[in-house]
Amino acid sequence: MTVNTDVLKGSVARPALPARYAGLLCLDDFQAAARRHLPSQVYSYVADAAETSSSHHANRSAFSSYEFVPRVMVDITQRNTGVTLFGRRWDAPFGIAPMGLLALSAYRGDLALASAAAQENIPMVVSGSSLIRLEDVAQANPASWFQAYLPGNDDGIMALLERVRAAGYGTLVITADTAVAANRENNVRAGFTIPVRPSVGLAWQGLTHPRWLFGTFLRTFLQHGMPHFENSYATRGAPILSANVERSLSDRGHLNWRHLRMIREYWNGPIVMKGVLDARDARIAVDAGVNGLILSNHGGRQLDGAVAPLRVLPDVVAACPEVPVMLDSGVRRGSDVLKALALGARFVFVGRPFSFAAAVAGEAGALHGIDLLKQEVSRNMALMGINSLGELDAHCLRAVAR
Ligand code: GLV
């Protein structure tokens, strides 16, 4: 028995969600399912945050520090969840945030998410630390955006950008919050490191999670060989077991605004800077020609204690009114999406939940997750008495009195 059978969208047949997942009713439900499905080390890589996880928790509590003030007796039957960004219309005000190593938790995870995003007409951002070639993701979903972890030198940056452009990407996302590798001590405690180090604990976890072992790990090795970091440079990066991996992912200490200006001269399409939190940086970025911003503390995975993006959102919107200000980190509900938009965000991105959705049920899981969030957005718009997302503003919210 399956749920969601015979569902067709456009000409693409949607894979059915296995019946055992019928109980997944919200994005957080995917996390619990993924925790059972994944080896604890791999789960930790996705789920855990840096040091004390205080930014990770702050991301959630920022959303609960606002309440809605809904309007009533409004005909909401014509409501529309669409948003236009950089001249393209999307069906929902959220997209899939870039996530590294997706293919370790979900078989060819980036491709599953890219295909789901295409069918649902939401943007998918391909990670610079993905294990799937950016060219393959572009083929699965030509509307994907590419997120670069810039190499540490000018030639390396330009060579990577040439590759990204040749693959057909239009929108370039530059992540700015990874000057050095973060302190992922919680991953180390759980036995997950980059490079991945084979251990008795990892072997045991593999054996006790056979669906992951056969469906993701062995299937990947047998069909595609050892996973490599594919998208950090113009050429293939190191295999995930290589001792050199850590260095190749963290050599960004001297990147500065000059590099952004150099990229601006080269890149014709929209450039989005991700990882900005200070309104002064946002202003510098926009003055240097950036077309959009994604406020982010990297899901609490970089600087522990960094402010939740939602808290700085109004300041950044005020400082940079001419560009779309977007946000990620902690978005789990349609109500979160609407709160961010009411505070001035044009769009939001959601990471971990889609990684968990693809881990437990591949493309069908991702489609289900996207559908759930779309339904929450649409239902909550109705309950707030609004027909278009442009109606959201600060009047829709009250800060919770503490
Ligand atoms: C990669 O971007 C990570 O946060 O692990």
Q: Give me the mean pLDDT over the 194-213 stretch.
A: 94
CA of 230 to the centre of ligand 1 (A): 14
Residue 301 Cβ < 6 Å to ligand 1: yes
Q: Could you tell me the residue ranges of all domains in the chain?
A: 8-399
d(CA 382, CA 137): 35
Q: Is the pLDDT of residue 4 over 70?
A: no
CA of 46 to the centre of ligand 1 (A): 8
List, for residues 85-100, the tens digit of each pLDDT value: 999 999 999 999 999 9
Ligand 1 mutation target, pool 298, 303, 329, 349, most atoms within 8 A of CB: 298
Give the pLDDT confidence score for residue 135 in this predicted structure.
98
Please check if 331 is assigned to a binding site: yes
> What are the two backbone dihedrals, phi and then psi, of residue 108, each rounded to the nearest 5 degrees?
45, 45
CA of 129 to the centre of ligand 1 (A): 7
Q: Which atom of ligand 1 is nearest to the CA of 302?
A: 4
Give the pLDDT confidence score for residue 12 in this predicted structure.
56
Q: Give me the mean pLDDT over the 270-280 stretch.
A: 98
d(CA 373, CA 332): 8
Kindly indicate the confidence band of residue 16, based on its pLDDT and cuts at 50, 70 and 90: confident
Residue 346 Cβ < 6 Å to ligand 1: no
Give the pLDDT confidence score for residue 248 in this predicted structure.
65
Please check if 330 is assigned to a binding site: yes
CA of 66 to the centre of ligand 1 (A): 28
Residue 184 Cβ < 6 Å to ligand 1: no
Q: Which atom of ligand 1 is nearest to the CA of 45?
A: 5
CA of 23 to the centre of ligand 1 (A): 29
Considering the chain, what percentage of its residues have pLDDT values greater than 90? Answer: 88
Q: Is the pTM of this model over 0.75?
A: yes
Instruction: Single out the catalytic residue among 56, 259, 298, 368.
Output: 298
Give the pLDDT confidence score for residue 242 in this predicted structure.
85
Q: Which atom of ligand 1 is nearest to the CA of 298?
A: 4
Kindly indicate the confidence band of residue 7, based on its pLDDT and cuts at 50, 70 and 90: very low
Q: Is the pLDDT of residue 6 over 80?
A: no
Ligand 1 mutation target, pool 56, 99, 102, most atoms within 8 A of CB: 99
Residue 298 Cβ < 6 Å to ligand 1: yes
Please check if 45 is assigned to a binding site: yes
Q: Is the pLDDT of residue 262 over 90?
A: yes
Domain 8-399 annotated CATH 3.20.20.70: yes
Residue 100 Cβ < 6 Å to ligand 1: yes
Give the pLDDT confidence score for residue 5 in this predicted structure.
34
Output the average pLDDT for the chain: 94
**Residues paired with residue 294 on neighbouring β-strands, in sequence order:** 274, 326
CA of 131 to the centre of ligand 1 (A): 12
- 57 catalytic? Reply is no
Nearest CA to ligand 1 atom 2: 100
Nearest CA to ligand 1 atom 1: 100
CB 352 within 8 A of CB 53: no
d(CA 155, CA 173): 18
Residue 351 Cβ < 6 Å to ligand 1: no
List, for residues 336-348, the tens digit of each pLDDT value: 999 999 999 999 9
Please check if 237 is assigned to a binding site: no
Residue 15 Cβ < 6 Å to ligand 1: no
Q: Point out the least confidently predicted range of 27-36, 187-196, 306-315.
A: 187-196
Please check if 278 is assigned to a binding site: no
Kindly indicate the confidence band of residue 1, based on its pLDDT and cuts at 50, 70 and 90: very low
Residue 178 Cβ < 6 Å to ligand 1: no
d(CA 167, CA 146): 10
Nearest CA to ligand 1 atom 3: 100
Nearest to residue 320, comparing CAs of 369, 355, 351, 279? 279
- The residue that leads in pLDDT, 18 or 363, is 363
Q: Which atom of ligand 1 is nearest to the CA of 301?
A: 4
Please check if 259 is assigned to a binding site: no
Q: Give me the mean pLDDT over the 37-55 stretch.
A: 98
